[in-house]
Structure formats: structure tokens, C-alpha cells
A and B are shown apart, each in its own frame.
Chain A
Amino acid sequence: MIIRLIERTAVLLVSLVVSSVLVFAFMAVLPGDPARVALGVNASDEAVAELRRQFGLGRPLPTQYFDWLGGLLRGDFGTSYVSKAEIGPQVFDRFQVTLWLVLAGMVIALVVAAPAGTVMAARHRKVSGLALSAISQLGVAVPAFLAGILLIMLFAVKLGWLPANGWTPPAQDPGMFVRQLILPALSLGLVQGAVLTRYVRSAVLDVLREDYLRTARAKGLRPFPALWRHGIRNAAVPVVTVLGLQLATLLIGAVVVERVFVIPGLGSLLLDGVSNRDLLLVQDVVMVLVVAVLVVNFLVDLLYVALDPRLRVGSR
């Protein structure tokens, strides 16, 4: 257990360092001088030189890299070349918004996938299972933004039940927060749910074939209680893996969904940064997204150990 923890932590740290180098290097090799990019083609040479001096853009790249990394570690994300505002507070605010969206999407995905996948597996020879299978197939094929537009058209425009877009912080007006969260979270979550359903189905099918489930039945448990008490935990291991991997997809999906629903999250910030040619902002946001994915995958690894005692080496 301890060995695994150390090993996983080491892997996390190495991937963090490597990805920070990659993100930095990618931004550095982009053609053009960052100061010129920020100021636009019509800026005077003096203004460009001034910006370069102000942000130390003339220094050697390794120095700039360590400066940037050191700042990130201290929570200092630097100052935007374009707006001259501190990037840190913005990223922090926006990150919370995206976190709500992604979490709500994930919960919806799970709430859809866990029962649907289980029923599909348990009834895989029956009509109900096949029908669910067909629906999930359809769901997999729909991109999140399209789901979002369809949901807006139905629930916001046609039925008028929910706001079509916007964002209210939960502390300000919890009711409005939930109402505005529902549609974007659904458009993220339903699509992921459809994908996840297929993994839940195959995980549960595998478990249903296990000998220990037959033992549970032989003890006198009925099929569903047997599956619940002896199968769920075992089926959860592969599903959790997929869920961890899906987080990356959810974050990408959030970037688009935030646009569709006019939500001030990390995704909108990223797209704003791109259109304002705010290179440092883009670099910071991409790094935050990468860190989020890596940390979640690290946590998923630890969750395995909690789920599967066979991974707890030397426990007894």
C-alpha cells in the first residue's frame, strides 16, 4: 500500500514536471514574438520592446520557464500581457465554475450509467436490455454541444422551463444556480453517461459470469441482491478507470458547453485568451486543465486500492 502510494506519487510528480515543460515549450515554439502577438501587427516597435522588457520576455527560455513554474507553485500565475491584470484570481474564479459544471456532469453520467448499464447487463437477452442498448448507442454518437443546443431548444425555448444560458454563483442565489446548471450539466452528462453505460454494462456482464456470484446465489441470495452485495464493488474497478479517463473528455466538453451556455468558466476563459492572443493566460489555463486531469487520475489509482484488497500488498 505504502509502496504503491510512493510509486503513484512519483509518477504524478514526474508527469506534472514533464507536462509543464511541454506546455511551456509548445507556447515558446509558436511562431512570432509573444509581445508582438499580444499587441497586434500595428503596434510600434517601441511598444513591443517596452512590453518585452516589462515581462522579461528577452530572457533565456529556461529562466522564463523556471520563473513561470516557480510562480505557479506559489500560486502566482503572472500578469496578462494584454489586460495587465493578475491571471491567478481569474483562473481561480473560473475554475470553480468549471468544477461545478464537470462535477454535475459526472454525477449525471453516473446516475444514468450505473442503473442503465446494470439493467442492460442483467437483461442482455431481453427486450428491455436491447432497447436501452440502442438508446445508449444513439447517445454515444451525439456531441455534447449538439445535445446542449437540442436541450436549449426543447426546455428553454419551447417549454420555457429553464433558463437558456447564464451563470449565477451558488452563494448568490442557490435556486437560480441550480436552474442554470441543469441544462449545461445535462448536455455534458448525458453524452458521457451514454458512453459510460457501455462500460458499466460490460463490467457487470463480466461480474455476472464470475464464480463468486454463483457462490452468492448458492448461499440463497436472489439475483439482484447477489449482484448488489457481491458484484457492484468488483464492477466498480473498471468503471472508475473509465470515469477517470472521461474527466479529460468532460473538461474538453466543458470548454464547448460553456460557450454554448455563456458560462464564465475555465473554458470560456481559455477561448477568450485565444481570441485576445493572451499567450500567458492560455498557457496558465492549459496547465491548470492538465494538472486537474493528472490529479484525478492519481486519485483514481488510489481509489482502486480502496476497492480491491488484492492491490493492498502485504496487508493481513
Chain B
Amino acid sequence: MSVVADVNVRTSDVLTVRGLTVTVRDKTLVSDVDLSVGPGERVGLIGESGSGKSLTALSVLGLLPEDVTASGSVRLTGVDHELIGADERRMSRVRGRRLAMVFQEPMTALNPTMRIGDQIAEAMLIHGTRPGRGAARAAAVELLERVQLPPDTLRAYPHQLSGGQRQRVVLALALANDPALLICDEPTTALDVTVQALVLDLIVKGVVARAAALLFITHDLAVVATVCERVLVMYGGRVVESGPVGEVFTRPRHRYTEGLLAASDLETTQRRLTTIPGNVPPAGQFPSGCVFRTRCRHATEVCATTPPWTGSETTGFACHHPAEAVDD
């Protein structure tokens, strides 16, 4: 989405992604994504599975799988170099220090042969943010306390903890160095419904306490509504709509967003049990023009051309036949 005239260019953003494109061999998995996260802002990234959300996050972190490559620009506040294509030496100083990530699968995210305390302390020792082992361990106890885990968790091994507890450990070590930005990729998807609320609450409390920004990836709209202030909707490797959560969820403009909302039980007023017809195509097989046009009820011939971005980067959409803007 090339922003032709972004009226309110934000200068103090924590994360600025411009024209991010991710490819694997000849396939394009993510196309031309622009995204910004302001200081302390909590931004959601939503879309069905296979939309390119995780790849976007991994590109920012510089941890894409082998043979997957990213191009474009990723800048992070306080880091004086471009993150895309930065060498390991530089990136390793950014990761875990200014930029941290919580992954989807807590059961496998921790080293099974290392005690929890050592894994948390390591996060601080790598970057020298605590003077020594003792200080790092003391800090680890405090971090555990903040995610409501008892101090003796320090001596436990991952297999002795439940999925929810492990995810809280991952959160604790992600926040250990007070990063400027925390990225969470479906952090509660693999968890029991009963513990999801607690983990979400701890994530929000954690970033708020540190005035850190949050990029929160999920396909669960209800979760976005409780956690985030602003939301970006992704489909087919593109951002198709963005705006404040309240606005996008009550007055979606892009037809994909509209379908997504109709399919979720968030939109109870509509009382229609619809899902978006058809399936997300496999990577590289999205149509040209509007990526959604093979599933869109409103598609016309003009949709075979790429719809231009309407609005600003923070609030806008890319659709030839948008839903009516409802005037208040």
C-alpha cells in the first residue's frame, strides 16, 4: 500500500515498516506492507491463518526461516540502522534488548534441559543489563512475580509447568530488558480458554508498566478488541485496512474486514451466522489485483486491478467498492 500522501506522518514511531515484501524462491508471501507503532501504542494485526502475519513479525525480528527473504525497510526507535538485511552482530544486539517476541507455542518455546531461572537470567546476561549472575537471578524472581509465578519456579524445568505458566515465563523473559517493542504472535491461541484472559491481562500490564509498544498478532477479533487500540487487517500478504479498533470493528470499509467481522460472533447485532465463503488460497496463489476478489461478493471487473489505498496510513483501506462509511 504505497501511501501517496500521508497527511499525518508520525515522526516519533517506535516501529516503522515500509514496503515490506517477503518472498520464498519465486513466491511472494508478503507484499508491500507499511505499518507503524507509536510509543506505548498497542496495535493488533489480524487476519485468517495464512495471511502473512507471522512472516511480517519474523521479518521485523530478522528471524525468517532459511530461504525466505525480506526486502523493504524496518526501523526501530533507538536503533541507528536498518533492520532488514542487518548482519547478525548488529541484530543480536537489538533482539531481546529493544525488541522482544512471544511466540504462539509455549509448550516448545523453552529449552527442556535448562532451569527456568537460568533461561530468564540469560536474557539479561546476554545484553549485560544486570551486573552479574546474582543480580540477574534476583531480577528473574521479580519478573516471575510480575507474571504471578512463585519464586520456586526459578528452579523448575519447563516440563514441570503448564502451557499457561510457560507462556508467562516466555513473557517474563521477553520483558526482562524493558524492550521498546513487544511482538506477540498468537500468544494465547494454544492455551486453555480459562488461562487466556490471565495471560492477555499480564501482557497488557507488562507493556503498560514499561511504556512499551505492542504489536499483537491474532485471528481472534474479541482478543484484539480487549487488548489493542489500533488494528491492521491482513489478507493475502497485504494490509487491506487499518484504523482504531472501535472504528474498524463497528464501521469496516474493506469487504474482507466486513466478512471477517460477520464471521466472528463479535458482530452479534447482525445475527447472521456467516463465514467468509471459500478458503484462504495457498501462498503464491492469490489473484492479481485485489487479493480478496476470488471470495468477495462485491467483486467487479475493476477489482482485477490493485485497489489504491484510501485514507492515511493509520486509518484507511484498499477496496474498489468499500462498505458505506456510516456518518455519525
Contact = CB atoms under 8 A, between A and B. Distances in A.
Interface in B150-168: 155-157, 159-160
Interface in B75-96: 88-89, 92-96
Interface residues of B, number: 35
Nearest to A217: B63
A60 interface: no
A169 interface: no
Contacts of A218: 61, 63, 95-96, 100-101, 103, 174
Interface stretch (A1-9, A15-23, A178-186, A207-215): A207-215
Contact of A210 (B61, B108, B173): B108
A150 interface: no
B156 A212 contact: no
A59 interface: no
Given A221-B92, A223-B88, A310-B157, A215 B126 contact: no
B95 A217 contact: yes
B97 interface: yes
Contacts of B63: 214, 217-218
B112 A219 contact: no
A299 B174 CA distance: 39
Contact of A222 (B88, B103, B127): B88
A85 B198 CA distance: 78
Chain A interface main SS type: helix
Contacts, number: 76
B158 to A, nearest CB: 8
B123 interface: yes
A215 B61 contact: no
Contacts of A308: 112-113
Interface size class of A (residues with CB under 8 A): 20 to 34
A316 interface: yes
A293 to B, nearest CB: 27
B109 A230 contact: no
A215 B160 CA distance: 19
Contacts of A234: 111-113
A307 B160 CA distance: 16
11 contacts: A125-B67, A211-B105, A215-B111, A217-B63, A218-B61, A220-B94, A220-B126, A223-B88, A230-B114, A233-B114, A309-B113
